[in-house]
Amino acid sequence: MTDRLLIFFLLIGVGYFIRKRGVVGSAGLKDIVQLNIDVLMPALVFTMTTLRLTKETAGLEKGVLGPLLGLPLVAVAVCLGGAALAYLLSPLAGVKGSRKGTFIFLMAFANSSFLPIPLIYALRGEGGVLEVILYGLGYTTLFWTFGMWVLHGRPEPRYLLHPNLLALAAGAVLGLSGTVLPEALIEFVRLLGNSAIPIALLCVGGVLAEQGIRLSANWRPLAVMTGAKLLAAPVIVLVVLKVTGLPEPLSSQAVLQASMPCMAQAALFVSRFGGDARLAGASSFLTTLVSAVTIPFFLGMIR
């Protein structure tokens, strides 16, 4: 597991290096990120749901404690819990106005797929990837509604018609119905999806290289953000799980997601929809860097 984590962070380092050296330019990096988000990740989502989401793995008979219904609800709980923690800590962080909205947004919405998918794959294989995908159903819905409301005062539900969610819906219908697609078609989509994980990690490094880190004007919110997001949030989740006894795979997904750093593309979203882009970029950079130490500890809690 440690070796796999090292490989993942080395891939991030390679992405950082090739962007810093100009092997890939700014426009090229944006195109690669867009390709991964709009094509490769949806291919991965479609493959996993078509092949892995069956009536048995969905756990519909368990209701909200089953993966299909429970994991999206876990996403809502983790994200809103992060937002509540950020709201309480905003005076300590010294943020007001748009900076406060950015602070809450960054705490609520972590890197929910680019890092968790390869990490959970190392722990649980393709079944773990499916768990992250189902978590993303709740995360994405909340991101384009509550998240956009926090950033610029109104939700953006039109973005819910994203290729990822469309791929999830199509794959779920096929998987739950037991429909078998031609092997050649599945292999084609699988090849596309398999490239999503390494390219995602390279993109994380490239985006972080562009954003950099400026501590001078942001040291206070950055310190609070790093401590709250990478230490306090996962510890709170562990305590809640101990009290509630939430079953697997809901509990391990909650721990995994709560321990993630800020989303690598946070500055891009904040720049587009309002807020403090410098704080967002610095938070992404610093929390991703520090998470190389904290993530292995909390992943050790997942069985």
Query: Can you give the pTM of this predicted structure?
Result: 0.86
pLDDT, tens digit, 9 for 90 and up, residues 66-103: 999 999 999 999 999 999 999 999 999 999 988 999 99
pLDDT, tens digit, 9 for 90 and up, residues 170-217: 999 999 998 989 999 999 999 999 898 888 888 878 877 876 656 666
- Does pLDDT of 303 surpass 90? no
Q: How confident is the prediction for the chain on average, in pLDDT?
A: 89
- Give the mean model confidence (pLDDT) for residues 62-69: 92
Return the half-sphere exposure (C-beta side, CA atoms, 13 A cut-off) of residue 249: 24
Q: Which pLDDT value is given to residue 214? A: 63
| Domain annotation for the chain: domains and CATH numbers | 2-296 (1.20.1530.20)
pLDDT, tens digit, 9 for 90 and up, residues 130-172: 999 999 999 999 999 999 999 988 888 888 888 888 998 999 9
- Give the mean model confidence (pLDDT) for residues 277-297: 87
Cβ 57 vs Cβ 127: under 8 Å: yes
Q: Is 143 exposed, middle or buried (0-12, 13-18, 19+ CB in 10 A)?
A: buried
Q: Which pLDDT value is given to residue 142? A: 94
Which of 253, 252, 259 shows the shortest CA–CA distance to 302?
252
pLDDT, tens digit, 9 for 90 and up, residues 244-278: 999 999 999 999 999 999 987 787 788 778 888 88
- Give the mean model confidence (pLDDT) for residues 2-10: 73
C-alpha distance from residue 269 to each of 148, 162, 245 (Å): 9, 15, 36
Rounded Cα gap, residues 70 and 60, in angstroms: 9
Q: Which pLDDT value is given to residue 4? A: 67
Q: Which pLDDT value is given to residue 243? A: 94
